Amino acid sequence: LEEALIFELGCEGQTGVDIEPASKAVSPALAKFRRKAAPALPGLSEPEAVRHYTRLSRQNYGIDLGPFPLGSCTMKHNPRLNEKMARLPGFADVHPLQPQKTVEGALEVIEQLADWLMKLTGMASVAMSPKAGAHGELCGLLCIRAALDARGESREIVLVPESAHGTNPATAAFAGFKVQAIPATPEGRVDLEALKEKLGPDVAGVMITNPNTCGLFEPDLKEIADAVHEVGGYVYCDGANFNAIVGRVRPGDLGVDAMHINLHKTFSTPHGGGGPGAGPVVLSEALAPYAPLPFVTRGEDGEVRLVEEENRGEGHERAFGRMVAFHGQMGMFTRALAYILSHGADGLKQVSEDAVLNANYILRSLEDVLEAPFGKSGPCMHEALFSDAGLPEGISTLDIAKGLIDEGFHPMTVYFPLVVKGAMLIEPTETESKQGLDRFIASMRNLAQRAREQDESLHTAPHFAPRRRLDETRAARKPVLVWKGDEAA
């Protein structure tokens, strides 16, 4: 199962691509800039390359093989229709700087997706260009900053609950704010009173995740939003968990001013082993004028129009700037739109219902064998949270996670949220069947049983994966980030 590296497979001076020979010599003016030697990289013949990557792929686990119950990551089925649509030459083979009249269909895709996102969230506008969730958070905070600047205020504080995604405080700091934490209640929700106490003229806004990272809906969000607005702040909502409420609840109705939407979560664009994602940000009336360029909008005449630096004066003059070189993740927009059109308004409502039902089914099917810290708080939303509190000494959440690999599943999210010790956050999504959930539940019960029996082999799991536990400390202590096998000689 050890696959050689390309550097061990191929040899330099070879190539697996046939390229027409050049008919002209390199121009003399270029001579002094020429590379002394081609990069020392092997070229594999196509048969070698296809096998290398096919075999490597088989050392990966993906949604296509089974459940990926990573809480807060929403790993759902990735329809192949969406891949097919994104590859239509009219989308895949157009340049971002073509004259606008030659890309009207592409701009339509952006606008139609934007329209759906606004209607699904009940918001006034959407900034489409952010490249991923964290980038969207940044965009939202920069909109807030721009709005404060426009008001001539320089508020410095952003309130973030303890249970927030790590990206939330990181983004706020990146945007130049000071982060202040808000504690959680014993029921796993934002402490409303503690939050209200911190509100004041220095507060730029609050960043809240709803449903929150304990898998619970924040029933006080509207009240929080009203309180924040009252002191002149803005409400940022982390939209990572939008899958729990899509089609059933509009964040705009709860007073949210900005929320990023992970197209690679809720709208099923494939995660690809770590991206690309896409993080459009829906914005309230208050923040809408500051959305960055490029900006696609539908004019009064019904025509779709692209606003860039060149024509920002014609309708979007207060944009706070530009976050990326081009239009954002077009390929992801096409996939997300295909997904949304396939489900429609009725299907998206069914999505959140099934996602929530599946999570509650897991919660109630496991709470007798695993500690569910907020099990008493009522139904969970789209993810079920457990902790290692009930496990015997010596058996950790990590052991359960690695044991799950041997059962044929990807582990859940572990040690997050931080507010729960040894957290296990399980998000099945709506694309798991009952039969699949039952198998997963049986595996979890089996692991819990083994844990109770102090089964030592759990400590060394996984046993049946392509690799046993890997030495991460060694990797970090003296990092080996590139292959140097040829330098040794």
Site for its own copies in 54-93 (CB under 8 A): 54-55, 58, 64-66, 77, 79-80
Beta-bridged to residue 322, according to DSSP, are 293
User: 147 or 355, CB closer to its own copies?
Assistant: 355
The interface partner of residue 19, options being another protein, its own copies, none and the CB cut-off 5 to 8 Å by kind, is another protein
Rounded to 10 degrees, the C-alpha dihedral 129/130/131/137 comes to -170
CB of 24 to its own copies, least distance (A): 23
| Closest to 205 (Cα-Cα) out of 250, 261, 252, 141 | 141
The interface partner of residue 191, options being its own copies, another protein, none and the CB cut-off 5 to 8 Å by kind, is none
The interface partner of residue 227, options being its own copies, another protein, none and the CB cut-off 5 to 8 Å by kind, is none
Give the whole-angstrom CA distance, residue 465 versus residue 462. 6
- The answer for 293, left when phi > 0, alpha when psi is -120 to 50, beta otherwise, is beta
CB of 470 to another protein, least distance (A): 5
The interface partner of residue 250, options being another protein, its own copies, none and the CB cut-off 5 to 8 Å by kind, is another protein
The interface partner of residue 469, options being another protein, its own copies, none and the CB cut-off 5 to 8 Å by kind, is another protein
Rg of the chain in Å (alpha carbons): 25
Helix (H) or strand (E) holding 307: strand 304-307
Tokens of 162: 């303890």
Q: DSSP letter at 315?
A: T
CB of 276 to another protein, least distance (A): 3
Interaction with its own copies in 361-380: which residues (CB under 8 A)? none
Query: Which of 3, 7, 12, 48 is in the footprint of its own copies by CB under 8 A?
Result: 48
Strands (E), 138-217: 157-161, 178-182, 203-209
The interface partner of residue 136, options being its own copies, another protein, none and the CB cut-off 5 to 8 Å by kind, is none
Give the whole-angstrom CA distance, residue 170 versus residue 471. 28
CA distances, 383 to each of 45, 394, 427, 471, 478 (Å): 46, 26, 4, 30, 37
Tokens of 462: 């996984």
Following DSSP, what letter does each residue of 375-417 receive, concatenated? GGGS---S-EEEBSTTS-TT--HHHHHHHHHHTT----EES-S
Interaction with its own copies in 433-462: which residues (CB under 8 A)? 433, 435-436
Interaction with its own copies in 417-436: which residues (CB under 8 A)? 431-433, 435-436
User: 122 or 436, CB closer to its own copies?
Assistant: 436
User: 64 or 115, CB closer to its own copies?
Assistant: 64
Give the whole-angstrom CA distance, residue 269 versus residue 77. 9
User: 22 or 300, CB closer to another protein?
Assistant: 22
Strands 157-161 and 178-182 turn out to be parallel
The interface partner of residue 376, options being another protein, its own copies, none and the CB cut-off 5 to 8 Å by kind, is none
Give the whole-angstrom CA distance, residue 384 versus residue 241. 13
CB of 58 to its own copies, least distance (A): 7
User: 45 or 443, CB closer to another protein?
Assistant: 45
User: 8 or 368, CB closer to its own copies?
Assistant: 8
Tokens of 388: 């290692």
The interface partner of residue 66, options being its own copies, another protein, none and the CB cut-off 5 to 8 Å by kind, is its own copies
Cα torsion 447, 451, 453, 454: sign: positive
Interaction with its own copies in 334-353: which residues (CB under 8 A)? 342
Positions in the binding site for its own copies (CB under 8 A): 9, 18, 45-48, 50-51, 54-55, 58, 64-66, 77, 79-80, 342, 431-433, 435-436
